[in-house]
Chain A
Amino acid sequence: MRDLSKRGRAGWRAATLSTSLLALVGCTGEIGGEDQETGPGPQSTPTNFVCDPDAVPEALPLRRLSHVQYANTIRDLVRYALPSESDAVITAVTPLFDQVPDDARIGPDKHYAGFARLDQAVQQEHIDATYAVANAVGAELVSTPARLEAVVGACATDGDASNDDACLDAFIRSFGERALRRAATDEDVAFYRVPAGSAPFEAADYADAAALLMTSPHALYLVEHGDESEGEHVPLGAYELASRLSYHFWQTLPDEELFAAARSGDLLTEAGYTAQVDRIFADPKTREAVAAFFSDWLENTTLEELDSRAGTPVFEAFAGDFTPGPELRERMLAEVVDAAAWYAFDGAGSYDDLLTSNRSFAKTSDLATIYGVPTWDGAGEPPAFADPARAGLITRAAYTATGSANTRPIMKGVFIRKALLCDDIAPPPPNAAANPPTLSETATTRQVVEELTANSPCNGCHQLQINALGFATENFDALGRVRTEQPIFDEETGASLGALPIDTTSVPRVDDDETLSTGSADLMRLVTESPKPNACFARQYFRFTFGREEDLNRDACALDDVKSKLDDGAPLAEVLRTVALSQAFKKRSFSEEVAP
């Protein structure tokens, strides 16, 4: 499915930006109206998860494989069945993957930190497309006698009908174990061989069996019955556990070693399980899943194309001799993910290290130029930022650049408050967006924002929750470059009208306190000293792991497992791996009690 809202052009902008500014500006009430209650104050994220071992989470419906997981699974099934020609088969069927709907990024906030794994909608296109893919793959796998023999065995092409029954049964057992992600039972074999009828069998009979297996509920969903235990919160069976591990860390089906551990039962032993978790986490495939986690969580969804105003007088004057290209936005966003992945896998860093990092992960000259550092080769030691002002995650270009000549302190503040601290912000008043902050010829952007949000009802949210967080990085311009003063321009011609001094001091109220911050480094120190970011990390990672929103009471144990590691300063790798060791990961609920 071609859902253009996933892409970075006009359609996306219209759909996404139409939401972002407005959701963020203000509080309740009406601008220009009489003073009134300014709505609820800061809604701070809970920072202490009280684990009740007896608490049972709400039962989830069968989890659908995400688009990425499904496509990876089909490709890996092809690689298993026909390793010698898997590339050709995958190339032939890949266009059909486009017909499977993309997953929407979903989360409690409509604008930030939405995860594709939370999109559990099952639409007609899912059914139509997966059916088409399965039939196409089945046909491709046996499209020549050589392929048929490679996939099924010589028994399928030897012209001897007497061995065809055994041949088909063996294929269903072998391919079926991978497609169903559990042992294929006698009942399964009997079921999936029905379309073939009686021997002798032709290639299409094997294709039908393969297609049927790839459309099975066990193929498209994570079917979890649990083991034989009684109760409403039961341990997973070995194959189910193998799938949880592989789909969480690899976004695809188990490999042969993991299947073997499930088949033998070794996965159900503590030592066997831990060994598999360690092996899986060390596999390069895990890096992609972890990157997906950070990409979904930390994407600045309000960042426009950096070249969207190229050619306009003010932007040209502002940009000077730097010309942003059409790829710069994606490169800025990718740099954040590269940073997170580096600390998780290469730099043995902690979450605090990521938050306070002063290293550049710019792989291209345009972004490296903005940072004033050499490009990073993606493998070696990433260079350190030259300017000490650039300190911490929020000073990276992805969060300071805007795509215009104007910075957006409000947007920056809202991102930190919502995505990094998991605080709630009350909705803006109806006409909040009627008078947005614009570039001034006489004032800094900070001054414009301060004046605009000085009065009730805006001041409640803006002064307590939003603006101060964004002011801390006003020493970066709208391309993410360090600045000490804000140049001002004639709004029509772009002619320089001088410059005004930058002020990055503020009271950010990270923990609802009055501590003064002098700028970005100070703010990041306050953030890392707060319990909020670790609690927020735990909540975001829970959503990514379990494909649902957390219940702060019933899921407190799983949340606390991750947060405790973070509080201990554990390396990111250990934190990310820890979730697989939690009881929540190894069990499933059948509780019918719905969360209030």
Chain B
Amino acid sequence: MKKLGRRMWLRGAGGFALAIPLLPSLLDQKEAKAGGNNRKRFVAMGTNHGAIWQPNMYPVDGSLTQTATYAGHQVRRGALALDVAGGVARLSPVLSASSSVLTSALAAKMNVLRGLDVTFYLAHHRGGHLGNYAENDGNGMDGQATQEHIPTIDQLMAWSPSFYTDLSTILERALVIGGNGMSANWSSPSTKTGEVQNISPENDSLALFNRIFVPEEDPTTVRPPIIDRVLEDYNRLKSSNRRLSAADRQRLDDHIDRLDELQRKINVQVSCGDIEPPTSSSIDEWGSSSYGIDPQAQVRFWQLHNDVIAAAFACDTCRIASMFATDIFSDYVGDWHQDVAHQAHFPDGEDQATISAAHQRFFEGVFLDLAAKLDAIQDVDGTVLDSTLIQWTQESGCATHDPIELPVVTAGSAGGFFTTGNYADYRNLSRPAAQPGPDSAVSSHTGLVYNQWLGNVLQAMGLDPSEYESGGYGGYGKVVLSTEGWYAGYQAYDNAELSVMSEILPFLGA
């Protein structure tokens, strides 16, 4: 086996290891000489429900030492400071982990954002994490009225020349993993036409690996691929004099667009050293009969995917991944949705403890696992994590169904675009939303609009607002100011919040 001098071992889950070359050795010499690295990466992690009480999710209010006036109200910031005791490092009960994993250095590369809202009653959804709010369950009048699907931000950047300035090593523009519905795009992505459709996820980490690592072939023994001829076959039908409807032609255009992408991928030449395929798959974990109530197996399932993502980023065969983790990360037996998530707001705290512990397992086992793996890979400037933005978002805020105070936890600075080490609180404390009472311990306030954060992510990845903003609002995603119930209607956002949505959020601009 050929040995490379400049490489490292990426220790993966399930006992497998990947030998990956250090990125600088993969870079074009000219680029390396210049010391430039415009490669940015993005990972979106989404989990169901949310419903974490604020004291369990966020650092203590006392850590918010800095204030500023923004969008007509006071916003706050503090430095993320670890509290380490008994081998456990803690930013909050959910954001805690073994001190060997959650180090001060890693915490300094994180951000915790509070006070970002969707402006209408969204309830259960899958697409909202990345801006396609229409991918919801139709709960409430707002949910039913908001059914116009739009591409998600991972797909926007995947097909933007501002993000992928060079596709010569990219075998997959974006990986979509986990539950269905988090990622969506046009049926003809390059032309941004057709219907917006969900991207089917891949949950077999070995299959995913095989998509991003294609073994080099001996050019003397390989026949020319027939892809050119396949393309011609579709063009042949499209240009024939046989009767076709306009919809038929759109369908053929969509297919031809995809064939173009396949043709591009077939012609990608990747040299990434002697990568050895992993010997186990996430599906092996999932296939266990006890998987649904085995949080350790669920964590391993996702760690196997983390390994593939880390290796893909290291070898630069893909720079985007979305991960929709619908597992419960708990050994709870029963109806998690109804009996835990929907009762987590009760003041007795019993279900809140269960759901918070589950989220802590996700944070430590999945989010931090990937962050640590990326931070262990050397890049041209710093580590791969430094050029990456990992975001973890939850379906709802502190109460299930309620898109108020959606937590956003990040790691990486997107190549220095964002400052890190921040706990930022954007709530408007003069605008209460949920208020505690005999049946609920939830207390929340409206703040800034989540769309603004999504726009910030796109800007961090190199996209100009002109590429994605529409409808007269900044940021990304639909804005609806409805009168639907829950509190006093979702009319808590006026020009102060809505006029700043193209801007970088306070405290985050580098």
Which chain A residues have a beta carbon within 8 Å of chain B's beta carbons?
1-5, 9-15, 17-19, 21-23, 28-30, 33, 59-62, 98-99, 101-102, 104, 110-111, 121-128, 131, 135, 191, 194-195, 204, 208, 211-212, 215-218, 220-221, 223, 225-226, 234, 304-305, 308-312, 326, 403-404, 427-436, 589-590, 592
Contacts and interface: CB of A to CB of B under 8 A. Distances in A.
Interface of B: 48-49, 121, 123-124, 126, 137-141, 143-144, 178-181, 187, 195, 197-204, 207, 223-224, 226-227, 229-230, 232-234, 236-237, 242-248, 250-252, 254-255, 258-259, 261-262, 265, 283, 286, 289, 291-293, 298, 326-328, 333-338, 341-343, 345, 395, 399-401, 439-440, 484-486
B143 A61 contact: no
15 contacts: A2-B202, A15-B179, A18-B49, A98-B204, A110-B138, A121-B197, A125-B202, A127-B259, A191-B233, A234-B243, A308-B292, A404-B334, A427-B143, A432-B139, A592-B245
A223 B234 CA distance: 12
B248 A61 contact: yes
B123 A430 contact: yes
Contact of B262 (A14, A128, A204): A128
Contact of A312 (B48, B123, B233, B334): B334
A548 B143 CA distance: 23
Contacts of B251: 61-62, 122, 221
B333 A312 contact: yes
Contact of B229 (A30, A194, A221): A194
A260 B47 CA distance: 54
A212 B233 contact: yes
Given A3-B180, A4-B179, A104-B180, A15 B326 contact: yes
Contacts of B202: 1-2, 125
A221 B345 CA distance: 50
Contacts of A22: 123-124, 137, 139, 401
B197 A123 contact: yes
Contacts of A436: 338, 342-343
B131 to A, nearest CB: 19
Most buried by A among B180, B262, B338: B338
B250 A61 contact: yes
For the complex of A and B, 8 pairs with smallest distance between CB atoms: A30-B485, A10-B292, A101-B200, A61-B247, A121-B197, A61-B251, A2-B203, A430-B486
A1 B333 contact: no
Contacts of B486: 30, 430-431
A357 B293 CA distance: 37
Interface of A, secondary structure class, is loop
Given A10-B336, A435-B439, 13 more contacts: A9-B291, A15-B180, A15-B181, A18-B337, A21-B338, A22-B123, A99-B207, A122-B258, A208-B226, A212-B229, A403-B335, A430-B139, A436-B343
Contact of B223 (A204, A218, A311, A403): A204
A311 B144 CA distance: 39
A111 to B, nearest CB: 8
Nearest to A132: B262
A108 to B, nearest CB: 11
Contacts of A102: 200
B337 A14 contact: yes
B48 A225 contact: no
Contacts of B289: 326
Given A4-B203, A435-B439, A60 B247 contact: yes
Nearest to A194: B229
A429 B236 CA distance: 53
A131 B328 contact: no
Contacts of B345: 434
A436 B232 CA distance: 58
Nearest to B121: A430
B282 to A, nearest CB: 8
Contacts of B400: 433
A441 B434 CA distance: 30
